[in-house]
Amino acid sequence: MGAENGGGMNVAGERILVVEDEAIVAMELEAVLRGCGYEVMGPVGRGNDAVRIVHDSWPDLILMDIRLKGPMDGTEAARRILAIHDIPILFLSAFSDEVTLERATDTHSYGYLTKPFNERVLCANIALALRRHRMRMKREIGVRILRSAMSLMPDAVIAADGSGQIVAVNEAMTEMTGWRHADLAGQSLAAIIPEHASGNATVSLLTSDRCEIPVGLKAAPTMDDGLTDEDVHLIVIRAVRPMHPS
């Protein structure tokens, strides 16, 4: 059984790397994290040591002080780590000025906490960051499986979630419109099908070179991919040939 942390969620021995150059603060963090049920790696006080440890043994999350001693601060260490590894990073700092916040934001971290820290807030933020990361990884795996299945379909197909955000497109869609998966993933359906309606419909589809082509849409039944927390709608797209007068 995992321990229960301050965020009210069970953890099962997730490993947290603590990067903090103040010895007393590092000891406090280690005690709090162990009390929340986490396994602590480190602590280490230099950015280059953090990069080395991550390369050698992958932690589940990194708790990173921004202003570290030595040539590499926390934001630079985070950038080097994230360039190779997909690991959630939470920043800690005694400074909350605009420049420090901007440096932390630029690294696409999972959050920023100021010192002195509140124990329950710290554990709750770690639990939230771990959950967000798990959900994102789960969704990415689901999208990869979905794209693999869609690649076998002869028709052009778009997968969209309940909010109308495009999740994936297949190769037949790329051949028809020029749009690639990387172009459309995360975009709204309305960006390429302004007249989109549920069920069967004939509408104009915007291609990658900004031309409009008439297409028929057929919305497939809602499906649960079993991996993401959202239902996915498949929309089959077929070109409509114009009627020529006899």
Separation of alpha carbons 173 and 178, rounded Å: 8
CATH superfamily membership of 151-239: PAS domain (3.30.450.20)
Whether 49 has a pLDDT exceeding 50, the answer reads yes
Residues 161-175, mean pLDDT to the nearest whole number: 89
Q: Which residue would you say has higher pLDDT here, 11 or 70?
A: 70
Domain boundaries, the chain: 15-138, 151-239
Whether 10 has a pLDDT exceeding 80, the answer reads no
Q: What is the pLDDT of residue 41?
A: 92
Separation of alpha carbons 89 and 126, rounded Å: 9
Q: What is the pLDDT of residue 110?
A: 75
Residue with tokens 């007068």: 245
Contact predicate 88/17, CB 8 Å: no
Contact predicate 76/65, CB 8 Å: no
Q: Which amino acid is at 129?
A: A
Residues 87-95, mean pLDDT to the nearest whole number: 86
Kind of pairing, strands 156-161 and 15-19? unpaired
Dihedral (CA of 40, 45, 47, 51) sign? negative
Whether 4 has a pLDDT exceeding 90, the answer reads no
Q: What is the pLDDT of residue 238?
A: 87
Whether 160 has a pLDDT exceeding 70, the answer reads yes
CA torsion 129-135-136-138 (nearest 10°) is 140
| Model pLDDT for residues 183-236, shown as the tens digit of each residue | 998 899 888 987 655 455 678 899 999 998 888 888 765 555 444 445 678 888
Whether 103 has a pLDDT exceeding 90, the answer reads no
Residues 148-175, mean pLDDT to the nearest whole number: 89
Q: What is the pLDDT of residue 102?
A: 66
DSSP 188: B
Whether 33 has a pLDDT exceeding 90, the answer reads yes
Reply yes or no: is the peptide bond before residue 116 cis, omega within 30 of 0: yes
30 band by pLDDT with thresholds 50, 70 and 90? very high
Mean residue pLDDT of the chain comes to: 82
Q: What are phi and psi of 185, to 5 degrees?
A: -55, 125
| Model pLDDT for residues 115-158, shown as the tens digit of each residue | 888 899 999 999 999 999 988 888 788 888 888 888 888 999 99
Class for the domain spanning 15-138: alpha beta
69 band by pLDDT with thresholds 50, 70 and 90? confident
Q: What is the pLDDT of residue 161?
A: 83
Comparing CA positions, the residue from 66, 64, 119, 72 lying closest to residue 88 is: 64
Whether 241 has a pLDDT exceeding 90, the answer reads no
CA torsion 5-11-12-14 (nearest 10°) is -90
